[in-house]
Each structure stands twice: as structure tokens, then as C-alpha cells.
Chains A and B, each alone.
Chain A
Amino acid sequence: MKYVDEFRDPDRARALTLEIHRLVERIDRTRGGLERPLQIMEVCGGHTHAIFRYGIHQMLPPEVEFVHGPGCPVCVLPMGRVDDCVALAERPEVIFTTFGDAMRVPGSRMSLLKAKADGADVRLVYSPLDALAIARANPHREVIFFGLGFETTMPSTAMTVLQAHAGRIKNFSLFCNHITIIPTLKAILDSPDLRLDGFLGPGHVSMVIGTRVYRFIAEQYRRPITVAGFEPLDVLHSVFMVLRQIAEGRCEVENQYARIVPEDGNAQALSAIQQVFEPREFFEWRGLGSIERSGVRIRDMFAAFDAERKFPVANVQLADPQACQCGEVLKGVIKPHQCKVFGTACTPDRPLGALMVSSEGACAAHYRYARIDTSALTRRVAVHPGSAPAALRAPA
């Protein structure tokens, strides 16, 4: 596949890994030994998935650790919102449409999948435009689309609302749970126990919002950030770029994913977001609590398409099940496998917490790809100039 396969070349990955090992040696030498591993947060769940799927975390020297960020919208959705979805879906007049990711997230009573099994009309769609098409085809039913995701997905739901408005569609509405990345990054950077040394910026969010918006991370918080693509070479290259900034004492916004991400983002997409949505004062995140201005709602002008105004929505805050430690994993306090219920009471087939549901969730990715003992691979290997660690060498 063009523009995908080139960025998966194993020989290049090997060479790049070696460069990363050398760079870390250099940082280690100049600092006279590192007191703790360098921590790089991959903000986006897509990166978390790629890191585990391709075993990128195993290719890095032990002095570099990934901290899995909050960028999995399904994972950070609080349980109360899932209950609201189920309640909406159970209304007899409603066809509830959603992306596949959200189907298995457990609510306090049940998931959308269980609601569907019990008779609710819940339908998977590929695009919000498909939900609008269902509304056109079923004029006597109320079609609700579950709008979820960061700025990557927001323009598509905004455009769908604009089209519904232009087409005077009366039976379509959006249950808006969109969240925005910048206030979330600020909240993470402001946390008192912050230990992060750098960031991999979310590639597809950035194609919408651009790269300038991250300047505060470099300038005010003095942390390097590299906007990263999602193929294994992209991730390795971006890690290399962040480490090079650390080695050279720079804090800048760099763009590894320039083939997709323009500096200014996408003006048309931003304008669609601007027309349809406005910030909410607060939005509740699973594990992270309430973050100021981190969510959006539908503007008054499009109130007719707002499921929260069209139908009663309880919007109650619910605590996660007691055994569930999603919050601590999300904050990087513990690793997925250190959770009490990881792989026992909580598995991808029967998830207790949201991090086990989405394939982008740190726990599901860890469960699926990383349960192998890799200590032999990640043990510190002496890197002599020009020699790849044995584990990384091409088989002869």
C-alpha cells in the first residue's frame, strides 16, 4: 500500500533503533548517568496501539519509557455518559448510531452492545454521514449519532450537522461528547507530579488544528514535542527527534508527519468546528476528573440537532467500579499489568474498564501484544559505535 509500506521497512527500523540507542548513550554520558528513565508521552491512542502492535517499546533502550496519554476518546469517556447513551438507545422511537469503538464500553447497567442484544435499535456506522442517510431513510424514527472523539473527528460531525440543517432534516440529532486536546495537555502539564521529558504529538488531530498551537508546550513548559505519524518508522523517527532535542537541550515543536500535517492545520475543517460547536465550561474525563473547557457542545443556532436538548439526558457522574484502576493507568501512576484486575476480571472479551475496551486503550493493547516477557530484549545493551544490539540485528 502506497505511503504505508515505505514507513514499515524493517531494515530502516533497525537502523533507526540503533541511532536511538546511540543518542541515549550520548545523553547518558553528557549527564553523567540518568537518575531515572526519560519519559515520553504519546498523546494519541493511535500511537499507543502502534507502539504495542509493532513492539516499539521493546526496541528502545530501557532509559526511554513511553507514558500512554489521554488520547483515546473511548477510554476517557466517563461511565455516566455511557449510561446516557444506553438510555437514549432504549427509547422506542430512537435509532442510535455509533462508531464501533463505543459499542462495548461498560456503563453502570450495560454496554450499547448489550442494549442492542436486548432489543434497542443500535446501529454501527462508518461515518456520521451514514447516520444522516439513515435519518433520511427513516423519517418516522429519531436518529441520534453518538459524536465522540477529538478534533480529528469533530469536523465530520460538524459537517453532518450543517448538512442536516441545510437539508431541514427534523429527525436527526447529535449526542455530542467531543473533547479538545489543548486544555487536556495543559491539565497534564500543570499536574504537580509531572515527570514527562517530551511528547509525541497527535498526528491526525494536528492535521486539523496545525502545529503552532503546541508552542506553549515548548516555550512555557520547556518540553520538546514532535508531531508524529502512525507507521512504525514514523513513531521511531519521532522518538529519535524528541531525544535529539533533549540531547541538544532544545525545546521546540517539530513535525515528523509533514506529509499529512500542515503547520496551519485545515482551515475549512476548523471553520466547520467553529460554526457548530462552542466550548463547555467543564467536561468530565474518566480518571482525570473535570477539565476546564475541554469539551464542546452544540451552539444555540443548531439546538434542534442537539440530542441533549431534544431528549432528557440524566448526565449523572458515576464512580468507576472499585476494582477498576483505569484512572491510575491513565495518569501513568501504574502500568496496565499492575492493575489488580488486569487479565483476570478485566479482559478485552469482558472489560471492566474502558482502557480494556478500545484497541487504542493502553490495557487492551498491552493485553493483546505485550504479555510476552521481554526483559531479555530490554535489558541495557552496551552500544558500541556501529554495532546493533544483538536482538535488533537482521538474521544472517
Chain B
Amino acid sequence: MCLGIPGQIIAVHDSVNNLALVEVSGVRRLINIAFIVDEDLPPAACVGAWVLVHVGFAMSRLDEAEAMHTLALLRELGELDEVGEADDLQIAINALSVRGSTP
């Protein structure tokens, strides 16, 4: 029900009624952008922006810097793990070589 999909604003179709052409996964549709525009950010300033689309409305601007930040955090968590895996591998190799040296 609360499904939302990221899409990119391609063009403003009707700035009076806040309608913009948004591309979601290669499909273009008219989307209402009233909830993401205000005096500081008029519709024309939205072209190129990524938004979250829900039932025909853009409900939030996708903050690209925050997306990068989350991905960086995920990479860090992964890296910790890769270091751990490497240590484990080293222990395993050591164990093997110890066994190998025993007659």
C-alpha cells in the first residue's frame, strides 16, 4: 500500500497545476509535484531531481548525498568483514602449514 518508487523528473508539464513528467524505470508518466515544491523551489528548479513516487504524487525529494552516505556506511560494514575473513584465512593457512610440517 505504501509502495514508493524512485523516479527522475524529466520536464515540467504544467507549472500551474504542478504536473511534471517523471521517468520511473524507463516509463514516463505525469506526476503531481505539489508536495515537493515551494516558493524557494519552484517546479522549474525540480527538473533532473530524483523523487519518490507514490500513487501519482512525488512525496519526497531523494537526497542523493544521503543515499551515498548510507551506501558508504554499508561498504564500511562490509570492509570490516572482509578484514575479518582475511584474518580467518590466515589462521587457516597457518594451521595447514603447521599440519604440513608435522611428520
Binding site for B on A (CB under 8 A): 1-4, 6-7, 11-12, 15-16, 18-19, 44-46, 71-74, 99, 101, 126-130, 148-150, 152-153, 155-156, 159, 202-205, 207-208, 230, 233, 237, 240, 256, 258-262, 266, 268-269, 272, 358, 360, 384-388
Contact B32 A237 (CB under 8 A): no
Across the interface, which residues of A come within 8 angstroms of B37, CB to CB? Answer: 268
Please give me the residue from chain A that is nearest to B75 by CB atom. A12
Q: Mark B43-56, 1 if CB is under 8 A from A, else 0.
A: 00000001010111
Q: Are A126 and B1 in contact (CB under 8 A)?
A: no
Quick check: A152 and B78 within 8 Å, CB to CB?
no
Query: What would 29 A/B residue contacts be, using CB atoms closer than 8 Å?
Result: A1-B25, A2-B6, A2-B50, A3-B67, A6-B67, A7-B71, A16-B74, A19-B77, A46-B2, A99-B1, A127-B57, A128-B55, A150-B1, A150-B2, A152-B4, A155-B57, A156-B55, A159-B32, A159-B35, A202-B2, A203-B2, A237-B70, A259-B62, A260-B4, A260-B62, A266-B59, A269-B35, A386-B85, A387-B85
A12: which of B69, B78, B83, B85 is its contact (CB, 8 Å)? Answer: B78
Q: Are B75 and A129 neighbours in the complex by a CB distance under 8 Å? A: no
A147 to chain B, nearest CB (A): 11
Chain B residues contacting A73 (CB-CB under 8 Å) are 1
| Residue pair B60, A126 in contact (C-beta under 8 Å) | no
B interface list, Cβ under 8 A from A = 1-6, 8, 25, 32, 34-38, 50, 52, 54-57, 59-60, 62-64, 66-67, 69-71, 73-75, 77-78, 80-88
Chain A residues within 8 Å of B62, by CB = 3, 259-260
How far is the CB of A31 from the nearest CB of chain B, in Å?
Answer: 23
* Further contacts, 14 of them, CB under 8 A, given A16-B78, A387-B84: A1-B25, A4-B5, A6-B71, A18-B84, A155-B59, A159-B35, A207-B59, A237-B77, A258-B69, A260-B63, A272-B35, A386-B81, A386-B86, A388-B85
Query: Which chain B residues lie closer than 8 Å to A101 at the CB level?
Result: 1
Q: A74 near B1 (CB under 8 angstroms)?
A: yes
**Distance (Å) between the CB of B103 and the closest chain A CB?**
29
When the two chains form the complex, which single residue of A4, A71, A256 contacts B2, counting CB atoms closer than 8 Å? A71
CB atoms of A258 and B78 under 8 A apart: no
- What is the bound-complex CA distance between A190 and B52, given in angstroms? 33
Does B57 lie within 8 Å of A149, measured CB to CB? no
Question: Across the interface, do B60 and A207 meet the contact criterion of CB distance under 8 Å?
Answer: yes
CB-nearest residue of chain B to A73? B1
Q: Are A130 and B81 in contact (CB under 8 A)?
A: no
Contact A237/B74 with A18-B81, A156-B57, A386-B84 known, Cβ cut-off 8 Å: yes
B1 contacts A358, C-beta separation under 8 Å: yes
Inter-chain CA distance A149–B54, complex, in Å, is 12
Task: Report A262 CB to chain B, min CB distance, Å.
Answer: 7
Give the distance in Å from the alpha carbon of A89 to the alpha carbon of B98 in the complex.
79
A153 to B1, CA, bound (A): 8
| CB contact between B52 and one of A2, A256, A260, A384 (< 8 Å): that residue | A260
Contact A256 B70 (CB under 8 A): yes
For B60, list chain A residues within 8 Å (CB).
Answer: 207, 260-262, 266
Contact (Cβ within 8 A) B2 A258: no
In the assembled complex, how far is the CB of residue A266 from the closest CB belonging to chain B, in whole angstroms?
Answer: 6
Write the nearest CB–CB distance from A268 to chain B, whole angstroms.
Answer: 5
A207 to B3, CA, bound (A): 12
How long is the Cα–Cα vector from A386 to B84 in the complex, in angstroms?
4
Contacts of A2 in B (CB 8 A): 6, 8, 50
The answer for the CA separation of A2 and B49 in the assembled complex, in Å, is: 13
Min CB gap B97→A, angstroms:
19
User: Are A46 and B59 interface neighbours, CB within 8 A?
Assistant: no
Residue of B nearest to A256 (CB): B70
B54: chain A residues at CB < 8 Å are 152-153, 156, 204
Residues of B with C-beta under 8 A to A153? 1-2, 54-55
Which among B8, B59, B70, B88 is the interface contact of A258 at CB below 8 angstroms? B70
Given A12-B74, A152-B59, A156-B55, A385 and B87 touching (CB < 8 A)? yes
Of listed B54, B75, B82, residue having the most chain A CB within 10 A: B54
